Structure 1
Amino acid sequence: MSMTSAAPTTRARALRPRSAIPGFGLTLGFTLLYLSLIVLIPLAGVFLKSASLGWEGIWHVVSSPRVVAALKLSFGAALIGAGINAVFGTLVAWVFVRYQFPGKRFFDAAIDLPFALPTAVAGIALTALYAPNGWIGQYLEPLGIKVAYSPLGVIVACTFISLPFVVRTVQPVLEEAEKELEEAAASLGANRWQTITRVILPTVLPALITGFTLAFARAVGEYGSIIFIAGNLPMVSEIAPLLIIIKLEEFDYAGATAVAAAMLVLSFLLLLVINGLQIWTRSRRNRK
């Protein structure tokens, strides 16, 4: 290379603004290494261990009635709990943002208790409340409503532990929302329902879907708070994480990893669908 061609290159490098953080190559390498060590390699180990059974062995494990019932309960209860929180968690966030009332700071801080409580403590507390002789369960039992030691108890536990994810995701968006838009909609003749559906909901929908996703992901893998209130009856109130623990205690490591791999695949597919819905809502909002 001649001196004349090297001079512009050197001059261009000197004029290029220097980044305050390490370069793209270094940060990308560190990111890939960190994700590989923390996420990808452990997950790959689950699939490799389950692969020792072969396709027929994996299918035999995951298609057994007990495993299918446990997967249905875990994913169904997680979806229902996240859906309940998507509605009522949004209402809670709305009240905290738009209204002032005595004890607001206390109740706002109490939302984070499911984050801070050990899962065993949460499970014991829920069982004490909803057991047939519990504070709330004793009034539900005569009505024929059995919460503890039933699938309904699993839904209650999933709802309890996933509430903060929706509230803390939607709350900042509501705080930044412009009240003038709501006032303008009211001045133009919009009723409350029209204001909610056409002004407020489109604003918070991306954050709401994110909160729903986080709530579902948290609830589907929950173990500690559910096993106390569920009763753990096979084919009735037995969750998939508990079934994995049982197989590990029986030294059926390949079977446990097969169930874990099934949970990973189902979770990935559901999260992929939810993320696709989130991208669609954002693109639709941007077009408007």
Structure 2
Amino acid sequence: MIFSRTLLKRHTVLPGFDLALGFTVLYLSFIVLIPLSAAFLKTATMTWPAFWDTVSSPRVVASYKLTFGASLAGALLNAFFGLIVAWVLVRYEFPLKRIVDALVDLPFALPTAVAGIALTALYAENGWIGQWLPFKVSFTPLGVFVALTFIGLPFVVRTLQPVLEDLSRELEEAAATLGASRWQTFRHVIFPILSPALLTGFALAFARALGEYGSVIFIAGNMPMVSEITPLLIITKLEQYDYAGATAIAVVMLVTAFTLLLAINGLQAWTRARQGR
């Protein structure tokens, strides 16, 4: 039995399992592990007091709060509206649907600097949208939130669309036949099926927002202790040739982001296990 399972496992159209695994580990090492290890090794050259002073200064802590807070808020908003956008694109037919569907990918294709300039022009006090708002958006933390929401939406929509397309409408009809309301059908039938994909889209949008730089620096204003994001601080220290300080802040970002994403993936795995998948 064990021998037959081994043969079944190794019989694929790709090269043998050992060779494929070796190439996979080698590629990931060059692309991911070695660069990240270099950041940790460079940070290790600092003494503990120097490291702590760098990563816990008030300016850096303020940037942590803004970066993680705006990224989380933007990902949550995208999870809500991304579900609605994906539902409309999959379940309804309307004029110019293909154009609307293509617009979802615009944040992917648009250079981040162009996106930042466009958002700043729109939401500035004299911009097309900003002049009608009773509050200021550009050059405030709210501007950071707007930029991170803009770049994160496609991750949620494109993750949910395939799941919605495979979702059988017979399940909804069966629930309606049994007397379930629309809300009960969505809550007990549709949402449990969509939740793993929704969590994946949320995690991708959150991770993308954490590292965003180009589209944020234009609309943020980059005022210390107010609208300065952590990636900008890393770039500033690199320009000052403070490589150890830059990698120290990067390591804190990396460890925190990895912990949060690990928790999200654990929640996703728990959700799939609960559904018996």
Q: How high is the TM-score relative to the length of structure 2?
A: 0.95
Tell whether the 8 Å contact from 2:10 to 2:16 is kept in structure 1 after alignment.
Answer: no
Q: Counterpart of 2:51 in structure 1: which amino acid?
A: I
- Runs in 1 of length 4+ with deviation above 6 angstroms? none
SS of 1:272's equivalent in the other structure is helix
SS of 1:286's equivalent in the other structure is coil
Shift of 1:17: 8.3
Pair 227,18 (structure 1): closer, same or farther in 2 beyond 3 Å: closer
Residue equivalent to 1:11: none
Let me know the Cα RMSD of the aligned residues: 1.5
Q: Distance in 2 between matches of 1:23 and 1:38?
A: 22
Q: Counterpart of 1:203 in structure 2: which amino acid?
A: I
Q: Distance in 2 between matches of 1:105 and 1:126?
A: 24
Q: How high is the TM-score relative to the length of structure 1?
A: 0.91
Q: Distance in 2 between matches of 1:128 and 1:70?
A: 24
Pair 152,56 (structure 1): closer, same or farther in 2 beyond 3 Å: same
Q: Counterpart of 2:141 in structure 1: which amino acid?
A: P
Q: Distance in 1 between matches of 2:42 and 2:10?
A: 49
1:112-145 CA distances to partner (integer Å, 9 max, x unpaired)? 00000000000011001100000010011xx2x2
Structure 1, gaps ≥5 residues long: 1-13
Pair 262,17 (structure 1): closer, same or farther in 2 beyond 3 Å: closer
Residue equivalent to 2:141: 151
Residue equivalent to 1:97: 90
Q: Distance in 2 between matches of 1:70 and 1:128?
A: 24
Q: Counterpart of 2:201 in structure 1: which amino acid?
A: G
Tell whether the 8 Å contact from 2:155 to 2:205 is kept in structure 1 after alignment.
Answer: yes
Q: Counterpart of 1:166 in structure 2: which amino acid?
A: V
Residue equivalent to 2:272: 282
Structure possessing the higher radius of gyration over alpha carbons: 1
Residue equivalent to 2:114: 121
Query: What is the aligned counterpart of 1:222 among 212, 217, 228?
Result: 212
Q: Counterpart of 2:192 in structure 1: which amino acid?
A: P
1:14-60 CA distances to partner (integer Å, 9 max, x unpaired)? 9x986432112211111111111110010000011111112222111
Q: Distance in 2 between matches of 1:169 and 1:21?
A: 27
Q: Counterpart of 1:84 in structure 2: which amino acid?
A: L
Pair 53,279 (structure 1): closer, same or farther in 2 beyond 3 Å: same
Pair 151,101 (structure 1): closer, same or farther in 2 beyond 3 Å: same
Structure 2, gaps ≥5 residues long: 1-6
Q: Bigger CA drift: 20-29 or 253-262?
A: 20-29
SS of 2:224's equivalent in the other structure is coil
